């Protein structure tokens, strides 16, 4: 049986405002200021096929909102691992080059997401 991953905290350790929209729950639309955090409860949406791309959590970052990151829980790859993955790009593409979020991203349950800026690149970590 699949386990749901729940974001309990998102730390924005960057000098930019981070805007977040949960595609599965349109009421989840908010921003996190630079060097600030959000605490709450947001399920990471399951995606297992292209027709479910709309469900992903969209994170828009950067000085001119030039970077978009998509966050989701992969239903199939790897099977039975409940991996939280991400993709940088202008649109969500389940069959694109998705990567697992570094850190404790498997097994469902409560997680904290940390977004940092290393040089000129955004990085993620899940705890």
* Beta bridge partner(s), residue 10: 38, 113
Structure tokens belonging to residue 29:
């639309």
Write down the domain spans for the chain: 5-126
pLDDT in tens, 86-113: 999 999 999 988 999 999 999 899 999 9
- Beta-ladder partners of 9: 39, 112
- Which residue matches tokens 């096929």? 49
Residue 80 has pLDDT above 90, yes or no: no
Compute the average pLDDT of residues 46-72: 92
pTM (2 decimals)? Answer: 0.92
């Amino acid at each position: 049986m699949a386990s749901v991953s729940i974001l309990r905290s998102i730390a924005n350790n960057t000098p930019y405002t981070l805007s977040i929209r949960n595609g599965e729950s349109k009421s989840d639309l908010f921003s996190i200021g630079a060097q600030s955090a959000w605490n709450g409860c947001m399920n990471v949406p399951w995606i297992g096929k292209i027709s479910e791309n709309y469900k992903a959590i969209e994170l828009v970052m950067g000085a001119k909102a030039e970077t978009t990151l998509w966050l989701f829980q992969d239903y199939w790859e790897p099977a039975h691992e409940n991996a939280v993955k991400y993709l940088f790009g202008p649109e969500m593409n389940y069959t694109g080059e998705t990567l697992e979020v570094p850190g404790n991203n498997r097994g469902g349950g409560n997680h904290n997401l940390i977004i940092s800026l290393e040089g000129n690149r955004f990085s993620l970590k899940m705890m």
